A and B are shown apart, each in its own frame.
Chain A
Amino acid sequence: MSSGEFTSIMFLAILPETSLVLLAAVLLVLDLVWLDKPETRIRYLGWVTAAGLLAIILAAVLFSNPGDAQLSLWGDTIRFDQAGFVFRMIFLAGAALTALFASQYEWLSQRGEFFVMLIISTLGMNLMASASDLILLFLAIETTSLPLFVMTGFLLRNDKSVEAGIKYLLFGAMTSAVMLYGFSLLYGFTGTTHLYELAAHLKTGQVPFPLLAVALGLVLVGFSFKVSAAPFHFWAPDVYQGSPTPVAGFLSTASKAAGFVVLLRFLQVAFPDQVAAWSLVIAVSATLSMLVGNYLALAQNSVKRLLAYSSIAQAGYMLIGVAAGTQLGALGTTYYLMAYLVTNLAAFGIISLVEKSTGSDEITAFNGLSRRSPGLALAMLVAMLSLGGIPPFAGFFAKLLVFASAVEADLVWLAMVGLFNAIIGLYYYLVILKAMYLYKPVTEIPIARPAIAWRIAIVVCVAGILLLGFWFAPWFNFAQLAAGAIRMY
């Protein structure tokens, strides 16, 4: 497609992104003109955000579903394909659920900017999923990250939150710089920033492998940071624990998913011939993530910290699918991310409620939850078992897919490492169940009935966990479309 000529497909391709910008603008204006009390205002802004995101999802499904298209638009910077589409749906859904959870989180200081930040970050993720040019990719990653730094440190009166924001910023800036250096090397070797031209250039074999390996290694540092994979995971526990709970949920799901789609696209499109090399690197990173995440999770007292380590371990399981380097692998990782989205958002949503009622995020705050609020305990049980990979919940099939992809790709050892880690993982998820069902609660008073927004969000999450857990076909097909589009090149 020649540049300079505009076609309707170009605008449809970025319809979700343009709508997001509009939504952000609307939210800013509303925040100014809405003369309600701050507490109720944030609630309404949460509703507006969620409704807006839902509308964008519907619009995207109706008007910007690429079908079988594989187009490079906007000066070859945007890839319009199913991979971008499916992941956009993941981000938008994640953001909508987070908005609902956040609107009940009174510690967000009653400021509407929070939702604007959420929208901007989602916009960045959308671009990450469809960027096919290194420059746009870098900009997208930064657009995603900067609002997240702010959201992490949003609780200005809470030292831990501020500390988390700064830590996240410093780590993020450093790894971004390293990644950018890798990008510049790639540009230097090939003379192009376009991912698909880069791939064609690398196919000729003119760039010596050692140089390429250095560039690739630098880039992987940045991506590993985004997905919180070892050895670039150090930020996660402090940041998750310090940040407002709904933000931690968003960080661990949508933001992780954005990192993964970039990782999948980048590796499979640009470096298909070097699969043996990067597969090994990713497999080692997966192993480290699982081991570090699971072992350190065992020793945690804070549920948020525990879930932070668990999210490192979960990144390890997802990396197994990436390491497989096959379509089934990409499919498994995508399915895993969908499952993880609903599961972890549910978990963090429940934590935020328990935290509000007990003032603590320790495991002991969950003691006797099944006596205080049986329904809430049941929802947490579903989320924990899904994380542990037990049917009929989403995590079981997701794990099965990534392990299957490893076996298919002759990485039986990696599947074995993953399976053994699943055992360790199950242990600490069961510890939370035990606290909820066995131990005596500090108080018998039920947890205050949460507002309707929160209840809708948790019902959607739990329904998602169940649907992904036994009604596989539709979600499998989405994941397959995404994985197919990435592999199509």
Chain B
Amino acid sequence: MQFPILSALIFTPLVAGLVLLLVPSERRGWIHGISLAAGILTLLLALGLYASYDLARGGYQFIEKLDWLPALGISYHVGVDGMSLPLVLLAGLVIISGVLVSWKVEDRLREFYSFLMFLGASVMGVFCALDLFMLFFFFELAVFPKYLMIVVWGSPQTREYGGMKLTLYLFIGSVFALLGALAIYFGSGQGTFNMLALEQAGFSIEFQRLWFPFVFFGFAILGGIFPFHSWAPDGHVAAPTAISMLLAGVEMKVGAFAALRVGIMLLPDGAQIWAPLILVLGTINVVYGALIALIQTDFKYVIGFSSVSHMGLVLIGFAALNREGLIGAGMQMFSHGVMTALFFSVVGMVYDRTHTRDISSLGGLFYKMPWAAVGFIVGGLVSMGMPGFSGFVAEFPIFMGVWRVAPLVAVIAVLGILITTGYILLVVRRVFFGEIPIALAKSVGDVSIKDKIVIGVLSAIMIALGWFPSLMVPMIETGVNPILALLGGVK
């Protein structure tokens, strides 16, 4: 039997989270050590997986299957394909980044890292799940770490509101999705939650028309789909830095990924019926999110709304339902995840040193914290879709795919990119250049070495992908092929 690498990936953070709870809270050294070790191990496992995935063979690999509750056809069933593997890598990257940027958390550090690890286990579980029940189990596992981390360690002004709003919104989404999943389970008549079997269940058109919106939109709420997006900026802003990074960077992908895996892949005919609506809503995400980001005065809200805008690109990539669109969406999920994690980490670093997020009272920080500034600029270039950065590799295919099904939508969505350019340049100029306010001139110091590692690694990944798309695109392609087959042949 081969080494159960996916289980190791899921259970490393989970076990680390449990172990942390047993450590005496005053032992900060142990707590840091365990968290760092778990984060590094998770990343190494993810990298190992990524490197050893057999591209020529494609499909689901590293499969493990154990009976969980045979009476209901529930199994612990994991495997990764070209679509989920980049997201696993993304999660690995963001978890360790989250550990590094939270080094200085003072209040109940043990619980902070423990909950962070639980959240990490939850997202890994969802990305690896091949069993619908298991997917839900891990999906819901994230509820309490998210809520508690926002209300306990979040920004004092809005944490209670933002935390509760986020939790309830996402719970509403999962309620719809759960109902749809149960309908799929009973509708298939196969008595199994195995998604590979359910893909072949051959649901009737009427069934798919009825239930597709339940699962797709239910999950897509976590992906930030308009008009259910407003939890995202509020939640991201209220959250502590590491959680903003995980929420916007990884959790939103969990939503989009589950919408793809359960919605589009199990109910492909339903996807075709509902695709126009998704296309319209996704386009609103892109343009509206960018416009709102443009007028924000709060540094963190700009990034919060930019996530809404960029997730819109993922959604329209899905809705194109063709090769280019899906490849672009897959790339965009990874690229945006890394980018927004970088953005939020920089916002956090700026806030920690200036104690304000008001754009108008910031300025000239480039000279004080050049690493943060350069990191932010790299993120900005990615988010504008500049060639040479991962954003281009992601957004270009999305527009190609959408152009093939709805040229007008593609044109409108490109406008969103123009607006993105606007708000990114504005923020860069106001926060990092110009006069530095006198109050900040003395007090602000440079970022720590751990912060620099995070900025450096995340930036390097985005640049590398911009120059060498072949590091990831072929893998996503192997993931897209089966989806196209389910949708009824190559498009």
Binding site for B on A (CB under 8 A): 370-371, 374, 378, 381, 385, 390-392, 396, 400, 403-404, 407-408, 412, 415-416, 419-420, 422-423, 426-427, 430, 433-434, 437-438, 470, 472-473, 476-477, 480
Choose among A374, A433, A434, A473 the residue that contacts B69 (Cβ–Cβ < 8 A): A473
Contacts A419-B175, A434-B151, A434-B160 hold; do A396 and B186 have CB atoms under 8 A apart?
no
| Contacting pair A423 B168 (CB below 8 A) | yes
| Contacting pair A404 B182 (CB below 8 A) | yes
Contacts A374-B25, A434-B151 hold; do A390 and B178 have CB atoms under 8 A apart?
no
| Contacting pair A423 B175 (CB below 8 A) | yes
The smallest C-beta distance from A335 to any residue of chain B, in angstroms, reads: 11
The smallest C-beta distance from B30 to any residue of chain A, in angstroms, reads: 16
Bound Cα distance A113, B21 (Å): 41
8 A-B contacts (beta carbon < 8 Å): A374-B111, A381-B144, A391-B140, A403-B179, A419-B178, A472-B74, A473-B70, A480-B71
- Name the residue on B nearest A328 (C-beta): B72
- B271 interfacial by beta-carbon distance below 8 Å: no
| Contacting pair A396 B69 (CB below 8 A) | no
Task: Kindly state the interface size class of chain B when it binds its partner.
Answer: 35 or more
Bound Cα distance A470, B136 (Å): 13
Q: B residues 146-178 with Cβ under 8 Å of A?
A: 147-148, 151-152, 159-160, 164, 167-168, 171-172, 175-176, 178
- Name the residue on B nearest A390 (C-beta): B143
Contacting residues, chain A, for B147 (C-beta < 8 A) = 430, 433
| Contacting pair B167 A403 (CB below 8 A) | no
Most buried by A among B111, B143, B175, B176: B175
| Contacting pair A472 B171 (CB below 8 A) | no
| Contacting pair A403 B182 (CB below 8 A) | yes
A403-B178, A412-B183, A433-B147 known; 19 new pairs, CB 8 Å cut-off, are A374-B111, A378-B21, A391-B136, A392-B141, A396-B140, A400-B178, A404-B182, A415-B179, A416-B179, A426-B167, A426-B168, A430-B164, A430-B167, A434-B160, A437-B111, A472-B74, A476-B71, A477-B71, A480-B71
Contacting residues, chain A, for B178 (C-beta < 8 A) = 400, 403, 419
| Contacting pair B175 A422 (CB below 8 A) | yes
Bound Cα distance A370, B175 (Å): 30
Contacting residues, chain B, for A473 (C-beta < 8 A) = 67-71
The smallest C-beta distance from A243 to any residue of chain B, in angstroms, reads: 30
Report the 5 A-B pairs with minimum CB-CB distance, sorted nearest first: A419-B175, A407-B182, A472-B69, A391-B137, A437-B152
| Contacting pair B172 A423 (CB below 8 A) | yes
Bound Cα distance A167, B240 (Å): 49
Contacting residues, chain B, for A371 (C-beta < 8 A) = 108
Bound Cα distance A437, B137 (Å): 24
The smallest C-beta distance from A363 to any residue of chain B, in angstroms, reads: 14
Bound Cα distance A408, B72 (Å): 13
Bound Cα distance A423, B143 (Å): 12
| Contacting pair B175 A407 (CB below 8 A) | no
The smallest C-beta distance from A331 to any residue of chain B, in angstroms, reads: 9
- B185 interfacial by beta-carbon distance below 8 Å: yes
| Contacting pair A392 B71 (CB below 8 A) | no
- Name the residue on A nearest B176 (C-beta): A419
| Contacting pair A415 B182 (CB below 8 A) | yes
**Main SS of the interface on chain A?**
helix
Contact string, B47-71, partner A, CB cutoff 8 A, digits 1/0?
A: 0000000000000000000011111
Choose among A396, A437, A480 the residue that contacts B151 (Cβ–Cβ < 8 A): A437
- Name the residue on A nearest B141 (C-beta): A391
| Contacting pair A438 B186 (CB below 8 A) | no
Bound Cα distance A437, B112 (Å): 11
Contacting residues, chain B, for A403 (C-beta < 8 A) = 178-179, 182
Bound Cα distance A473, B182 (Å): 19
Contacting residues, chain B, for A480 (C-beta < 8 A) = 71
Most buried by B among A378, A403, A407, A427: A407
Bound Cα distance A437, B160 (Å): 12
Choose among B137, B143, B159, B179 the residue that contacts A407 (Cβ–Cβ < 8 A): B179
Bound Cα distance A450, B480 (Å): 57
Bound Cα distance A385, B140 (Å): 11
Bound Cα distance A412, B183 (Å): 9
Contacts A391-B141, A480-B71 hold; do A427 and B168 have CB atoms under 8 A apart?
yes
Contacting residues, chain B, for A407 (C-beta < 8 A) = 179, 182-183, 186
The smallest C-beta distance from A64 to any residue of chain B, in angstroms, reads: 25
Bound Cα distance A445, B168 (Å): 33
Contacting residues, chain B, for A476 (C-beta < 8 A) = 69, 71-72
| Contacting pair A390 B179 (CB below 8 A) | no
Bound Cα distance A415, B171 (Å): 15
| Contacting pair A404 B185 (CB below 8 A) | yes
Contacting residues, chain A, for B69 (C-beta < 8 A) = 472-473, 476
- Name the residue on A nearest B133 (C-beta): A400
Bound Cα distance A345, B165 (Å): 30
Contacting residues, chain B, for A392 (C-beta < 8 A) = 137, 141
Contact string, B216-250, partner A, CB cutoff 8 A, digits 1/0?
A: 00000000000000000000000000000000000
The smallest C-beta distance from B245 to any residue of chain A, in angstroms, reads: 21
Bound Cα distance A403, B25 (Å): 40
| Contacting pair A370 B108 (CB below 8 A) | yes
Contacting residues, chain A, for B144 (C-beta < 8 A) = 381, 385, 390, 433
Bound Cα distance A476, B71 (Å): 9
- Name the residue on A nearest B110 (C-beta): A374
Contacting residues, chain A, for B67 (C-beta < 8 A) = 473
- Name the residue on B nearest A385 (C-beta): B144
The smallest C-beta distance from B73 to any residue of chain A, in angstroms, reads: 12
- Name the residue on B nearest A415 (C-beta): B179
Bound Cα distance A420, B462 (Å): 41
- Name the residue on B nearest A404 (C-beta): B182
Contacting residues, chain B, for A378 (C-beta < 8 A) = 21
Bound Cα distance A212, B70 (Å): 40
| Contacting pair A438 B152 (CB below 8 A) | yes
Contacting residues, chain B, for A381 (C-beta < 8 A) = 144
Contacting residues, chain A, for B185 (C-beta < 8 A) = 404
The smallest C-beta distance from B123 to any residue of chain A, in angstroms, reads: 14
